[in-house]
Each structure stands twice: as structure tokens, then as C-alpha cells.
Chain A
Amino acid sequence: MFLTRDDAHALALRLLSLSKADSCVLHVDGEEAQSLRFAGGGVTTNVATARVKTRIESHVGGRIGAVSVGGLDAGELARAVARSEEIARLLPEDPEFLAPLGAQAYPVSARYDEATAALDLGFLAEASARVIAEGAARSVNMFGCAAAGRRFAALASSSGLFAYDRESFIDLSTTARHRSDGWSGWAGARHFAMARLDPAAIGRRAALKAARDEEPLDLEPGRYTVILEPTAVGELAQWLMWMLRARPADEGRSFFSRPGGGTKLGERLFGADFSIRSDPGDEIAPEAPFGEEGLAQAPRRWVEKGVLESLSRPRFWARKTGAEAIPQAANFTVAGGPTSLEEMIRRTPRGILVTRFWYTNLVDPRSLLLTGLTRDGNFLVENGEIVAPARNMRFNVNLGGVFSRIAAIGNSERVKTEMGGAAICAPPMLIEGFEFSSRSSGI
């Protein structure tokens, strides 16, 4: 279910008028979305859904009770307001409670496209057909998912805060599999505007990766030069962004904790050519203008030329430590560079081209040690050329080390990862000494 700004505001005012608490915060969000999946060149499942939920947080004497209810039934919503107050009164006082923010100024969000918001399953079937045709032309089987829709989120408080954001989205990805079942390729994209998405190009890209008839090579595990495509870089960087939090760093349980106390803010932790920034108004990867607690998102440098510049910090922790409150970034851009992917391949004597990763997981947050596997398009590069598909391998790498051994960076572009819906821009990277620990037969 999709509410306009006016509808969301009216709902918020109505619910806030029912509140008998000292203060109250409402989060209302919803979506209308449709998606279909295809396998072996034909449709399998499809869904169309309309969902909305309202989270009511009531504050009574520094106590907080929170209740969420799905749907827009007026009686259920009124009962939820009362229930949240009942819970708050029963709970102990929260020493970290802060009264909600009042009215804030937010940057304007620009990620809603009427035509994209109005897409239906028929359009997604057509787009999928174009992807499937690219596979048929190259004799590979196509599997994938196409989704589109629109979402909104509103935040309101009894202190006068009201924020509203909406987005449209179209999301298309495909995995091409060789008819022998022995090799695969992947491509995908996500945008807020359908005009930015080219289904045939996505299908072609995945199909070309999969249409290799050679037997894939089994490489020896060990340290390799890798050329990471933008999606792979975006996934590694996403883990880093999740860890950029001040409180665990201050408390001594983070990679960003300084031994003996304090954080590593201001220290060079990565290579001089590695930077991550966020900007809700980013033209390629826009995001919501407000974050947790209603804090305004703003252009921000998180890592600049290898130096840690920002850690996210909730309002309570900011007050306690006398530092700035910073919401976690909803989007981010890994800064690009001048070297094309093709040039990276040309200058590599021996290395591996990686399309994307799979099942990455943090092994040790102290060292930012990450494990995972390559997937859907791993190729051996020798003497500046792609010579053959190379079977997937598991990696165990420290993110600090990876982003300190960057030999070249390409143009940063919007990527689609499997790690949440954050808007991410990332470049391809040439990285030295990337550790693969074992082989996988998984294709």
C-alpha cells in the first residue's frame, strides 16, 4: 500500500492526536511491488503485494513502548497506540532515552519516477523475455528475477517532526548457465528509473560470461592478483560500511578501536587511493534524506584517501561523548579512478577476474576478516588476456589489507548486490595479494 505525503501526514496527525504519552514517534512505511522469477528460460513464480505497517513508539517518564501493526484498520491502529503506552508504563526507565527531535530540514529526495512506479508484471515479463532471448542467442539457459514498484516511508513525532520519502524501483538480474551445467555468468542492475535499465544489455552480459565451452580450470588456492568487477567491490565495501560505528569503537570491540582506548578516527587504515563517501542526493545512487531518529542525511566522507574520517553515532552516544550525531549512511560511493576494467586486464601478468561474491560473512570483526566465495564468472587472466573460466574458490581476507593493496581503480558505477537494498556505487579494482583458501566445485 502506498501513501502519498498528504495521506501519510494525515495518518500521522490522527494517530498523534490519540497519544496520551509524554511524547510519541511514528514510523509508517509501505510498498506496492511486483516481481517474477524465471528459470530455464520460462516463468516460475510471481508475486504482487501491497503492504503497509505503522510503528508507534510511546514515551512515558523516560520509558519506551513500541508496537507495530500491519494494515490501515483504524481500530487496530488506535489499539496499537494505547498498547504502546501500556507497555511503556510497565517498563523500566531507559537511562539512554532522549526526547524525539522536532522539525528538521532535510535535503530533497529525487528517486521517484512516475512511469517506473506504475510498471506492472506485463512489463516485467517483456523485460525478462529480452533477457531470455539474449541467452537463447548464445545457447545458454537463463534464470533470473525482475521486480518493480514503489515504496514510501514517513517519520513523525509529537515534537513537530515530519519527514516523508518515496522511491520507485526496478530491479533486474540474471544468471546464465552453460547447457553443460558446468559454467555460469551473472549480471544485474537496480535503478529508480526504468530508463536507466537496459534488459537486453544485462542479458547479453550474463550470457557472454556463461557461453564458454572450455572446461573450467581448477586453480591452486593461494594469493592472487584479482580484478574485482564493481559488484564484487560494492559487496566488500558494504561490510566495511556496516562496521563504521562509533559506539563499539569507543567501547573497544571493533576494528576501529585504538588499543588502550579511543578510536582510530583520523588514522590512515587503507590505501591512499581508497575513499568512501555518501550523499543522499547522489545522482546515480540517491537515498532517503533522513536516517535513524530522524537525523538528516548529509554528504559525508567516511574514508578519505585511506584515512578514517567518520563513524556513525546515535544521538545518545553523541551526547555522552560530546561528538556529532551521525546517522548510518543509507547509500555510499566507493570513489572511482581512471583505469578501465579492460586496461586492468591488459596490465595483469597473471590474475583472476571476479564477477561477484557469494555468502560473504564476517569471521572476525576485530580484524575485519571476511570469508566468502566467488560466483558466476571467474576467469583466469594471463599476459593481459582472459584465457579461460576458472572454478570458484573460497577467500579469507582482511578488508583493511584488501583496500590497502589497490593497484588500480576504474569508474564508479551503480551496482546491485545481494546485501540489502542500499544504493551503492563502486568501481572495478585491481588488487594484489588476494587470499584464496580453498577450491569449490560450486558453479
Chain B
Amino acid sequence: MTIAQNPEAARQAASLPRLDRARLAELAEAALTAATRAGASYADIRIGETRRQFVQAKEERLDEFFESSSPGFGLRVLVDGCWGFYGARALEPGAMAAAAERAIHNARAVAPIRVAPVRLEETEPHEAEWIMPLGIDPFAVDAPEKVRRLIEVNAAALAAGADYCVSSFSFATEERLFADSRGSRIFQSRTRAQPSFEVTVIDKGSGRYATRESLAPARAAGWDYALSCDLIGEAARAVEDARRKLDARPVEAGVTDVVIDPTNLWLTIHETVGHSTELDRALGWEANFAGTSFVKPHMLNTLRFGSELMTILADRSQEGGLASVAFDDDGAPRERAEFEIVSKGVFRNYQMALGQAHLIGAERSNGCAYADDTTAFPIQRMPNISLAPNPDRCSLEELIGGVEKGLYIVGAGSWSIDQQRDNFQFGGQMFYEIRDGKLGEPVRDAAYQGRTISFWNSLDGLGDSSTYRLCGSFTCGKAEPMQLAPVSHGAPAARFRDVTVLNTAREV
């Protein structure tokens, strides 16, 4: 049995954790004991609570202030090679034995359509507590302070000439105990923050309008991070950007070179690399909804995913990473989740959850499980997945300097990709012309399209760590029933050759 220590825990916000860990442990013990006595060969449970807060202001008024708490548990059992699961919004001792009975009943109910038994690898039990280092707990900050900040953001935008501005803060804290029948008892607490706004500028004469969203990324962080994003300062700049978009020339559609800022590239990494290298998708387990993958198991170590400049790293340890935790929701330690997905352009590893590794001849999972709620079945989800920056010096200016005619793309916009993660189309917040190696004026109505492999093989310029930024989302959707996972993606600025750019205003 290993004991994970968290030397930084002393710096944690005093208000966390909120839950009574001893009580959770008692409930978990009762559920696991009942499950194994009733015939489960393996059982695990996630038990705890997620708290959320959402504050939104529209122009001069507070539009919404809402907070929620979602306590619950999810008990998963393995019986004769079939999973069974039961989850409920209850933290009561009396519910545990009944839950075990129900989960085991469910495993037996689906046994008639079992093809191959679920096979779990050996795992080491861990007893650990990990509290994410946090500056200021957002739930400990007064409501009026949050409202005041957002009203100030909107006031700055309106003063700069915006017709409308909507701004918001989203916060979430997960406190969760993982326990399994092999002896693991892991309590973790994590908090995330998403500051955001969107300004709108309208040309009343023509009826045209333009928007610009904040570029502030979602992070695993607290109130201090939300403040550090300086939404007020950005709001005024965003209004100017939106006005420039209104006055901009339409983009010239065609094939061109692009330099992509990390505020846009993170989403492209997420959709093209993050999802295509999920083993459950490659095995077809998501075929009916989220989709499969063009990356097949026989392509391991042979597929040229991208150019030599492309190395994609998985981790659960980046500071601020939305998937940074000490253990995943199968109880696997974060060290397992430190691996290369793509190394110098070659596909090296899938992301895996418990019980999947043997299907491709691997020994064990690499710590990529998550359940979006304690009452949800844990499935394979992304750790933080990032494009490694260039180890050699390369600035944004150098990347742009290498483009005769092209575009520089900033901020994420509309997105879409096929279910095997090949054909994609992404918008952006700002598209700037590049001419003769110099950054020019914005253009409007642009989006870029591509095919995953040819796009990543056209990567010919990579920024160094000075251009690196960690971005991410609270809401990556997957599975049936749908689960929403938080995940971060870091990227430097990068240059791609011969990318198809669309004019989205063309009549179709």
C-alpha cells in the first residue's frame, strides 16, 4: 500500500475540503462490503459532492446568480465478467446495501448479451488525500464582490462603445472519495474557474454586427485566477477588435498559410488529437454517438500523425490543468498519465481506462478515467493533452515572418469535426492578414477547414515556451448518457502550410 503525500496541501484554502471524509469513508466501506459479500469480484465507488456557482451580468444588470450542490455516489461492481452500476443523490448509510443489491442485479440483467468478460488488470491499492493547491476559494468570496467585478467588465465594454456585453464567472469544486475492493481509499478536492465575456457591436445602418469573446482560458484555479485575467482591460480591447471586424474586408477564400495562436489551437488539438487517440473510440465503444477514430490499434508506433515538430504530451500535473489530479477515477496515480501520445510526429500511445489495456496488448491503463458526476459511470476521458513547445528559440514574430501570404488566427470560434476525427472546420475570434512576413489588418467571415493527418503534417513552424499557453474547456461531451468533462490543452503558437480557408458569408 502506498501513501501519497501532498506537500502543498498546507497552502490550501482553509475552507476546503467541506465534506466529512470519515463519514464518506464509512459509507463507502458499507457499500463495498455489501457488494463483495453479494458476489462482486471487484467493486469501486465514487462518493462526494460537486458544488457549482454561476454568475452572469448583462450590460448594467445582474442576470443570474446561481449556486448548486450535487451530492451522491456511484457504485460499480463486476459480477461474472459484467459491469453493474447504480448511482443516486443520497449520502445515507441506509442507501448503501440497497445500492449494492441493485448494482449486482444490473450486472446480472445484462449478462445475456455479454460477448467477452470484462478483464481487469492488477492494480495497487493507494491510501491518499490530495487537495488541489488553491489561492482563494471562489465559494468563500462574497456574492456582491463577484457581481461588482462583472458589472465593471460590462461598464468598460459599454464605455468603449459596445452595444451589448454579457460576462460571467463559472466555478466548480469537486470533493470525491474513491474507494475500491482492492483497498484504495483516495480523497481528492479540486476547483476550477472560468471567467468569460462576449461583446457585441452593431452597425445599425447595415444591420450587421460583430462579436468578440474573451480569450481568458478556463483553469483549475480559484478567485485569484479570475481576477488575474483582467477582464476589464480585455473588454475594452475586445470592443475595438469587434469594431475592426465590422469594418474589415471579407476574407479571401482559398488555400493559404496560417499561424495559429494557442487560444485557437487548443481546441484543434482537443478535437483532432485528443479524441482520435481515445482507445474506447478506436475499439468502437462510442460508435453510436461520440464516434470512433481513424487511428486504429495497428497504427501504434507506425502512423505518421504529424511533422517532426509535433509532440503531444499527456499529463495530470500541469498547474492550472483542468484534468490535473493525483489519481484518476479508477484510482490510477497521476504518474501513469504522463506519456507521449505523439512523439516527433509518430503516434505512440492511446488514452486508456481500467480494463482496456489488455485489448491492445498493454499491461495496464494510463490513468485516463473520469466520471463527470459521482452518479455517473467512469469512462475513458482525456487527461491534459498538450502540444510541446519548440525546445529551440522561436518567437511568434519569427513564425509570422516565415509567411509570405496568410492568416494569423486568435481565439476559438465555431467548431465541428467528423465522428472519426478527420475532417474539421474551426472558426476563431480574430483572423489577421499576414503579408510578406508582417501582421496586417483583421479580415472577417473566416473559418479554416482541414483533414487531421495532412494538417498536422503541414506543421512547419513551432513557437517556443514563450508562446505557450494553457487553455481548456469545462464541457467536453462524450458517452451515452452524455458526460461533460473538464480538460486543458496547452500549446505554443504554430505555423501550418496550405490550409483551406473559407469565406463564411458566401451565399449557400
Q: Which residues of A approach B to under 8 Å, CB–CB?
A: 1, 33-53, 55, 64-73, 76, 83, 87, 90-92, 94-96, 120-122, 125-126, 128-129, 132, 141, 143-145, 147, 173-175, 177, 184, 186, 251-253, 257-261, 358-364, 366-367, 369, 371-373, 375, 392, 394, 396-398, 401, 418, 435, 437-443
| Cβ 8 A contact of A442, one of B65, B116, B288, B423 | B423
- Given known A-B contacts A92-B147, A120-B109, A37 and B288 have beta carbons under 8 A apart: yes
* B142 interfacial contact with A, CB 8 Å: yes
Interface contact A372-B86, CB-CB below 8 Å? no
Within 8 A of A (CB), among B59-90: 61-62, 64-72, 74, 82-90
* B507 interfacial contact with A, CB 8 Å: yes
Complex interface: chain B residues within 8 A of A49 (CB): 74, 86-88, 375-376
Interface contact A358-B291, CB-CB below 8 Å? yes
For A127, the closest partner residue in chain B by CB is B113
| Cβ 8 A contact of B83, one of A45, A50, A372, A443 | A45
Q: Kindly state the separation between the CA atoms of A128 and B481 in the bound complex, as whole angstroms.
A: 16
* B102 interfacial contact with A, CB 8 Å: yes
Q: Kindly state the separation between the CA atoms of A360 and B417 in the bound complex, as whole angstroms.
A: 9
Q: Which 7 A-B pairs have the closest CB atoms?
A: A42-B115, A259-B207, A442-B418, A440-B423, A442-B420, A68-B68, A143-B287
Complex interface: chain B residues within 8 A of A1 (CB): 88-89
| Cβ 8 A contact of B109, one of A44, A55, A125, A257 | A125
- Given known A-B contacts A141-B284, A435-B508, A94 and B62 have beta carbons under 8 A apart: yes
**18 other A-B residue contacts (CB within 8 Å) besides A42-B113, A177-B287, A253-B164:** A40-B283, A45-B85, A70-B68, A70-B70, A70-B71, A90-B144, A92-B144, A125-B113, A141-B284, A145-B288, A366-B209, A372-B416, A392-B418, A401-B508, A440-B418, A441-B418, A442-B294, A442-B421
Complex interface: chain B residues within 8 A of A94 (CB): 61-62
Q: Kindly state the separation between the CA atoms of A50 and B294 in the bound complex, as whole angstroms.
A: 36
Q: Kindly state the separation between the CA atoms of A91 and B147 in the bound complex, as whole angstroms.
A: 8
Interface contact A129-B112, CB-CB below 8 Å? yes
Question: Quick check: which of B13-21, B34-42, B433-441, B443-451 contacts chain A, the rest being far away?
Answer: B443-451
* B377 interfacial contact with A, CB 8 Å: yes
- Given known A-B contacts A47-B481, A71-B91, A40 and B115 have beta carbons under 8 A apart: yes
Interface contact B414-A439, CB-CB below 8 Å? no
- Given known A-B contacts A358-B291, A361-B415, A375-B419, A369 and B72 have beta carbons under 8 A apart: no
- Chain A: minimal CB distance from B380 (Å): 11
- Given known A-B contacts A37-B285, A125-B112, A47 and B68 have beta carbons under 8 A apart: no
For B49, the closest partner residue in chain A by CB is A70
* B160 interfacial contact with A, CB 8 Å: no
Q: Kindly state the separation between the CA atoms of A437 and B212 in the bound complex, as whole angstroms.
A: 26
For B376, the closest partner residue in chain A by CB is A47
Q: Kindly state the separation between the CA atoms of A122 and B113 in the bound complex, as whole angstroms.
A: 10
Interface contact B89-A71, CB-CB below 8 Å? yes
Interface contact A91-B115, CB-CB below 8 Å? no
Complex interface: chain A residues within 8 A of B425 (CB): 363, 371, 394, 396, 437
Provide the B276-318 mask, 1 if CB < 8 A to any CB of A, else 0.
0000000111011101101000000000000000000000000
- Chain A: minimal CB distance from B238 (Å): 16
Interface contact B505-A367, CB-CB below 8 Å? yes
Complex interface: chain A residues within 8 A of B215 (CB): none
Interface contact A394-B449, CB-CB below 8 Å? yes
Interface contact A39-B207, CB-CB below 8 Å? no
Complex interface: chain A residues within 8 A of B88 (CB): 1, 49-51
| Cβ 8 A contact of A53, one of B70, B106, B292, B415 | B70
| Cβ 8 A contact of B423, one of A72, A362, A373 | A373
Within 8 A of A (CB), among B349-365: none
Complex interface: chain B residues within 8 A of A144 (CB): 288
Complex interface: chain B residues within 8 A of A125 (CB): 109-110, 112-113
Provide the B95-107 mask, 1 if CB < 8 A to any CB of A, else 0.
0000000110111
Interface contact B504-A364, CB-CB below 8 Å? yes
Q: Which of B69, B103, B107 has the most CB of A within 10 A?
A: B69
Complex interface: chain A residues within 8 A of B449 (CB): 394, 437-438
Interface contact B61-A175, CB-CB below 8 Å? no
Interface contact A45-B284, CB-CB below 8 Å? no
A-B contact list, 29 entries, CB within 8 Å: A41-B115, A43-B113, A45-B85, A46-B85, A49-B88, A49-B376, A50-B88, A51-B89, A51-B375, A68-B66, A71-B71, A90-B143, A96-B61, A143-B284, A143-B285, A177-B287, A253-B200, A253-B209, A257-B207, A259-B207, A359-B418, A361-B416, A371-B416, A373-B418, A373-B423, A394-B418, A401-B507, A441-B418, A441-B423
- Chain B: minimal CB distance from A359 (Å): 5
Interface contact A46-B110, CB-CB below 8 Å? yes
How would you classify the secondary structure of chain A's contact residues: helix, strand, loop or mixed? strand
Complex interface: chain B residues within 8 A of A83 (CB): 67
For A145, the closest partner residue in chain B by CB is B480
For B425, the closest partner residue in chain A by CB is A371
Complex interface: chain B residues within 8 A of A47 (CB): 85-87, 376-377, 481
Q: Kindly state the separation between the CA atoms of A40 and B283 in the bound complex, as whole angstroms.
A: 9
Interface contact B143-A87, CB-CB below 8 Å? yes
Interface contact B288-A68, CB-CB below 8 Å? no
Interface contact A46-B83, CB-CB below 8 Å? yes
Complex interface: chain A residues within 8 A of B87 (CB): 47-51
Complex interface: chain A residues within 8 A of B284 (CB): 39-40, 141, 143, 177
Q: Kindly state the separation between the CA atoms of A371 and B147 in the bound complex, as whole angstroms.
A: 36
Q: Which of B294, B417, B418 has the most CB of A within 10 A?
A: B418
Interface contact A373-B416, CB-CB below 8 Å? yes
* B476 interfacial contact with A, CB 8 Å: no
Provide the B195-235 mask, 1 if CB < 8 A to any CB of A, else 0.
00000101011111100000000000000000000000000
Complex interface: chain B residues within 8 A of A359 (CB): 416-419
Interface contact A68-B480, CB-CB below 8 Å? no
Q: Kindly state the separation between the CA atoms of A375 and B288 in the bound complex, as whole angstroms.
A: 11
Q: Kindly state the separation between the CA atoms of A40 and B113 in the bound complex, as whole angstroms.
A: 11
For A63, the closest partner residue in chain B by CB is B62
Q: Kindly state the separation between the CA atoms of A48 and B101 in the bound complex, as whole angstroms.
A: 12
Interface contact B143-A70, CB-CB below 8 Å? no
Complex interface: chain B residues within 8 A of A122 (CB): 109
Complex interface: chain B residues within 8 A of A372 (CB): 416
Provide the B442-465 mask, 1 if CB < 8 A to any CB of A, else 0.
000101010100000000000000
Complex interface: chain B residues within 8 A of A366 (CB): 208-209
Complex interface: chain A residues within 8 A of B67 (CB): 66-68, 83, 87
Q: Kindly state the separation between the CA atoms of A23 and B294 in the bound complex, as whole angstroms.
A: 55
